[in-house]
Chains A and B, each alone.
Chain A
Amino acid sequence: MDTEVKNGFSTITSDTHSVRLLSVLLVVGACCASSLSAGDQSAERNVAGVVTRIDGSELPGACVFARAAGAGASAGNMGCTETDEHGGFTMRLRPGEYIIRAKDEAEAYPDPNFLLSADPSAKFPQVIVGQSDISGVRVTLGAKGGVLEGKVQDETTRLPIVGAKITISDARAPGAYVEVFSNKDGGFQFTVPAKPVLISATAMGYEKRRAEEVALSGGQHRRIEIDLRPR
C-alpha cells in the first residue's frame, strides 16, 4: 500500500498488522484529482477498512458512506456499503477526497449524514483516493442513540394521517433537524442520536402539534402517538 499519513487522530490498521497512527488524513499515491465528477470507471480504487463501536468491537451489518470532502461546494449521491461479519468493508471510489462515515440504525447508531446526529465521540476519517488502493481505514461510531417509532393520527377519528411531517430537531441547536414523513399507516421511524431532541408534527388540514422533548440513548426504543387536531 502506498500511503502517507498526515496529522490527525484516528486509528488506521493495515491488512497484516495493526498500527496505531495519529492520523485523520490518508494521502495515497500521486494525490488527488480535482473533480469528483463521473468519469472513467477504471479510475476507481478500493478503499477498505473496519467499522467499530466506541469500545473497539467490530460492527457487522453497518452501512458505510463516503462523502466528498473537498474544499468546494459539492452535491451528489452516496451509496451504502455494508460491513461483513467482522465489521470489514471495501468500497470503490473515484479519485478525490472523502470523509468515511457509517451508521447502523438497527443498532441505534444514527445516520451521520444528518447534522442532527453530529457526535464528537465518533471518528470518521478523511481519505484521499489517488492512484492506489487504500486499506486500514478505521471508522468508529459514537454513542448509541435510540429508535423512535410513532404513529400520527386524527385526534377525533383516530384514523392514521398519511404524509404528516414530523420534525425532529436538536433541542440545543434547532438548525440541526430532520423531517420524517408518515407512511400509509400514519407510521414513522427514526433513529435519534443520544441527545435531547424536540419532536413536532404537522399535516395539511391539521393544526401543528407543538414540540415535545424526548431523550433516548443506549439503544432505547420509544413508541409515541401523535394526535393532530383538524383545523
Chain B
Amino acid sequence: MGKRQHRGGEGELREGAGRGYGLDHGLCKWAGASAGSLRLQLRPRGNLRPNQRRTVPSRADQYRVAGSADCSIEGQAGWVRNVTNQVQYIDGSPNAVSGLTAADQISTTTPNQLGISGTQVGSYPTTGDGSFPDTDYVCSTACPSNGETGALQNWAVSGIPLPHVNAITYQCGSITIDGH
C-alpha cells in the first residue's frame, strides 16, 4: 500500500464523482494510501492538471461568484468569474504541494463573435493544498449584447505540460470551463 504504480498504455478519460477529472497518460496510478505518502514517487507527466474546483472569492472556498466586469476601456463590457484551480491527481485528490508554478496558455477558436484578439495568461504559485486563485474575464465592445468566443486553455505545472485541455466559452454574461 502507498505506492504509485507505473503502467504503460494509452491515456483514458476518467470522471470522478464531483471531484473533477483528468487524463491518465499511463505513467502512474494510485495503489491506495494517502497522497502525502505517495508524493515522492509521483511522476507528474500526464498525471496532473489544474482542475476547476469551485468558483470562489479569494477568502472563502465555498462560494461561487461571477458578475459584470469593470473593463475600464471605453465601449467595452464583459464578464468576470472567480475560480480556484487545484492541481489534482487523476482520481481527483489534490497534489498538495505549495510553490509549484502553474502557467497557462489560451488560444481562441471559433466562433469568435466577441472579436477577442489578445488573451491574457499568467503563471501562478500553488498553495499548500495545490490550489491557486484565478480570475477569468472577458471584455469586448460586442458586449453586453449577445456573442460567444471559444477558446482552448493549456496548463503546465512547473514546466510540465498537462494533457487535459480546457474548453472555455466566453459570453457577455457567462464564462464556462469544460461546460461548467
Contact = CB atoms under 8 A, between A and B. Distances in A.
Contacts of B119: 36-38, 74-76
A69 interface: yes
> For A67, A75, A96, A182, which residue has the most chain B Cβ atoms within 10 angstroms?
A75
A194 to B, nearest CB: 15
A183 B62 contact: yes
A153 interface: no
Interface stretch (A15-23, A51-59, A185-193, A215-223): A185-193
B66 interface: yes
Given A106-B59, A113-B80, A178 B114 contact: no
A141 interface: no
A118, A124, A183 — which one has the most chain B CB atoms within 10 A of its CB? A183
B70 to A, nearest CB: 4
A99 B108 CA distance: 22
Nearest to A106: B59
B58 A71 contact: no
Contact of B104 (A34, A38, A116, A180): A38
Contacts of B80: 113-114
Nearest to A187: B62
A175 B172 CA distance: 12
Nearest to B170: A75
Interface in B40-61: 55, 57-60
Contacts of B134: 77-79
A76 to B, nearest CB: 3
A114 B136 CA distance: 11
Contact of B65 (A38, A180, A184, A187): A180
Interface residues of B, number: 55
A182 B65 CA distance: 10
A117 interface: yes
Contacts of A89: none
Residue of A38, A111, A124, A181 most packed against chain B (CB within 10 A): A38
B57 A181 contact: no
B118 A77 contact: no
Given A37-B119, A178-B67, A76 B57 contact: no
B115 interface: yes
A68 interface: yes
Interface in A112-138: 112-118, 124
A214 B42 CA distance: 51
B28 to A, nearest CB: 26
A69 to B, nearest CB: 6
Of A103, A106, A112, A114, the most chain B CB neighbours within 10 A belong to: A114
A179 B66 contact: yes
A92 B123 contact: yes
A38 B121 contact: yes
19 contacts: A37-B106, A38-B104, A63-B58, A71-B73, A72-B115, A74-B118, A75-B136, A75-B138, A75-B140, A76-B106, A76-B119, A77-B120, A96-B120, A113-B69, A118-B70, A176-B68, A180-B64, A187-B62, A187-B63
Interface of A: 34-38, 41, 63, 65, 67-80, 92-94, 96, 99, 103, 105-106, 111-118, 124, 175-185, 187-191
Given A73-B117, A75-B106, A184-B62, 18 more contacts: A34-B118, A36-B119, A38-B106, A68-B118, A69-B72, A73-B76, A73-B114, A74-B120, A75-B119, A77-B120, A103-B58, A105-B59, A112-B70, A116-B67, A179-B65, A181-B55, A182-B63, A189-B59
10 nearest interchain CB pairs?
A178-B67, A76-B120, A183-B62, A38-B105, A73-B140, A181-B64, A75-B138, A72-B117, A79-B124, A36-B118
